[in-house]
């Protein structure tokens, strides 16, 4: 299956990226292998941009915007933007996380976004994220950290003590029943000191110099293909690293080395908690970068407004594939099926940014790319999720659409999707970037 290689690349991308901070690091490593070269821009420095130049900006280690400067003036072409998010829902380690009792040490966690908590039980969990420490020059510095081995676990209660689990579902009390078991060998030590020593071992930074951290719990199990003909794949974080990866592949395509229009790929942290932060889609990151591209290409205020009026954004986030065991969870006229193509998400209340014109434009790009597409509308009697699409298009005043590939088990620690759809999405995104 020729669609298999892009999915293998996606699985490798996810396995190398167990936290949003690692996502950005993985992307930087990928950019370093590319020709023509990509140049990192610093937000505190002055920018000099060349037509055809390839640049990226990172804000606080976990949001990244990449762009290729077009040959034509911005006012003539507008920006062509694809947006997605780098974060996934899950568990995060609290500041004073470690506690010890009955010969067992545990780490307390906070819930980040809306994970399906029951899926975190009995998995080979570990930790990834970043620490902030004081270096030898007394400067505060960040460093990524990742434990490779399974370090943590949330063992289920045996059915003998939870007889109704199959009738009532697994319910976990969020404060008392989520702490993760870390060790049985820590009785004589203070638990915080024990955990600090672990961080020291992993990073080489003295425990007294580690002043703070952002640590996510991740699943060490690697991605797989599954199904009788390997037509499906599974991994953690498909929402929304599958969209990030598709957008990147479309942007890195070298078929058109010096495009007319400026192509932008904006990958934000903090979507799962509402996007309101300095690096989220509801923050200033994208408007700042677009404004600075305009300044650095000598685009005046009116021409910048003209450019925005000409711009288009595809907001890509995963969609809910039909699961035949639960037919009543879906609107009967809007069952979207894995391996049947990208999904256009439509919501009259604008939880999705799609409008008839933007949807029609996307349909047109699908048809030009030879890619099938589907349309999704949520059941009226269930609350609908949202994405970065409405937020970003409202902030910038640009036309936008919400799309995404169909997947099962959104916000489970192990999500799955169809192999064909990833290649389809990359193809239609390439078509969008190449559109006049």
Interacting residues with Co ion (CB under 5 A): 239-240, 317
Distant-in-sequence, close-in-space partners of 116: CB < 8 Å, separation ≥ 6: 409, 411, 412, 413
Nearer to Co ion, 92 or 411 (CB): 411
Helix 238-252 and helix 20-31: axis angle, to 10°?
A: 20
Q: How far apart are CA 293 and CA 131, in angstroms?
A: 32
The Cα-based distances of 422 to 6, 70, 93, 336, 369 in angstroms read 7, 26, 32, 15, 14
DSSP string, 318-329: -EE---TT-GGG
| For Co ion, the closer CB: 106 or 345 | 345
Closest CB 241 distance from Co ion, rounded Å? 10
In the complex with Co ion, the residue whose CB is nearer, 240 or 262, is 240
Closest approach, Cβ 32 to Co ion, in A, equals 27
| CB-nearer residue toward Co ion: 259 or 415 | 415
H helix runs in 18-175, sequence order: 20-31, 74-77, 165-168
Q: Least distance (Å) from Co ion to the CB of residue 85?
A: 6
Shortest distance, position 192 Cβ to Co ion, whole Å:
34
Query: What one-character-per-residue DSSP string does 246-304 give?
Result: HHHHHHH--SSSS-SSEEEEEEES-GGGTS-STTSTTSSHHHHHHHHHHHHTT--HHHH
Triad 414, 415, 421: Cα angle to 5°: 150
Q: How far is CA 284 from CA 58, 63, 86, in A?
A: 13, 12, 17
Task: Give SS3 for 183.
Answer: strand
Q: How many CA atoms lie within 13 A of 264 on its CB side?
A: 28
- Calculate the alpha carbon distances from 199 to 135, 144, 188, 412 in Å: 15, 11, 18, 27
Q: Which is nearer to Co ion, 219 or 272 (CB)?
A: 272
Q: Which is nearer to Co ion, 117 or 242 (CB)?
A: 242
Q: How far is the CB of 101 from Co ion (least distance, A)?
A: 37
Q: Minimum distance between the CB of residue 64 and Co ion, rounded to whole angstroms?
A: 17
| CA–CA separation, 9 and 425 (whole Å) | 14
Contact between 436 and 259 under an 8 Å Cβ cutoff? The reply is no
CB of 83 to Co ion, least distance (A): 11
User: For residue 423, what are the contacts with CB-CB under 8 A and spacing of at least 6?
Assistant: 2, 3, 6, 7
Q: Which three-class secondary structure state does DSSP give residue 14?
A: helix
Q: How far is the CB of 281 from Co ion (least distance, A)?
A: 11
Judged by beta carbon, residue 19 or residue 240, the one nearer Co ion is 240
Contact 181/155 with Cβ under 8 angstroms? yes
Nearer to Co ion, 131 or 318 (CB): 318
Rounded CA separation 345/308 (Å): 23
Per-residue DSSP letter, 158? P
Distance in Å, CB of 240 to Co ion, minimum: 4
| Closest to Co ion by CB, 388 or 420 | 388
Q: How far is the CB of 318 from Co ion (least distance, A)?
A: 6
Residue nearer to Co ion on the CB measure, 308 or 346:
346
Residue 113 CB, nearest distance to Co ion (Å)?
9
Nearer Cβ to Co ion (98/239): 239
């Amino acid at each position: 299956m020729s669609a298999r290689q892009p999915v293998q690349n996606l699985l490798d991308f996810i396995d190398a990226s167990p936290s949003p901070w690692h996502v950005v690091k993985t992307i930087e490593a990928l950019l370093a292998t590319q020709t023509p070269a990509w140049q990192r821009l610093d937000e505190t420095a002055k920018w000099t941009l060349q037509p055809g130049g390839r640049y990226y900006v990172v804000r606080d280690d976990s949001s990244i915007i990449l762009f290729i400067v077009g040959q034509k003036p911005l006012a003539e072409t507008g920006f062509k933007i694809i947006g997605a998010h780098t974060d996934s829902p899950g568990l995060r380690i609290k500041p004073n996380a470690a506690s010890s009792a009955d010969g067992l040490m545990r780490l307390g966690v906070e819930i980040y976004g809306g994970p399906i908590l029951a899926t975190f039980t009995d998995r080979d969990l570990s930790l990834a994220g970043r620490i902030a420490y004081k270096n030898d020059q007394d400067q505060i510095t960040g460093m990524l950290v990742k434990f490779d081995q399974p370090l943590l676990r949330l063992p289920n209660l045996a059915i003998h003590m939870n007889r109704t689990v199959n009738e009532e579902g697994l319910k976990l009390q969020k404060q008392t029943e989520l702490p993760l078991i870390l060790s049985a060998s820590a009785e004589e030590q203070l638990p915080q000191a024990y955990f600090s020593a672990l961080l020291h071992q992993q990073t080489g930074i003295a425990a007294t110099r580690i002043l703070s951290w952002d640590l996510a719990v991740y699943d060490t199990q690697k991605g797989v293909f599954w199904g009788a003909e390997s037509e499906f794949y599974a991994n953690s974080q498909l929402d929304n690293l599958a969209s990030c990866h598709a957008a990147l592949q479309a942007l890195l395509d070298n078929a058109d080395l010096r495009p007319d229009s400026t192509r932008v790929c904006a990958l934000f942290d903090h979507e799962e908690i509402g996007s309101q932060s300095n690096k989220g889609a509801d923050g200033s990151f994208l408007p700042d970068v677009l404004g600075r591209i305009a300044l650095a290409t000598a685009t005046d205020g009116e021409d910048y407004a003209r450019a925005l009026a000409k711009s288009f954004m595809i907001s890509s986030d995963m969609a809910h594939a039909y699961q035949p065991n639960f037919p009543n969870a879906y609107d009967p006229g809007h069952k979207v099926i894995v391996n049947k193509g990208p999904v256009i998400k439509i919501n009259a209340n604008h939880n999705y940014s799609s409008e008839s014109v933007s949807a029609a434009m996307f349909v047109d790009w699908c048809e030009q790319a030879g890619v099938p597409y589907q349309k999704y509308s949520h059941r009226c009697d269930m609350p609908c999720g949202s994405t970065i699409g409405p937020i970003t298009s409202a902030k910038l005043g640009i036309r936008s659409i919400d799309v995404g590939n169909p997947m099962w088990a959104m916000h489970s620690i192990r999500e799955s999707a169809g192999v064909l759809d990833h290649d389809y999405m990359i193809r239609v995104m390439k078509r969008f970037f190449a559109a006049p």
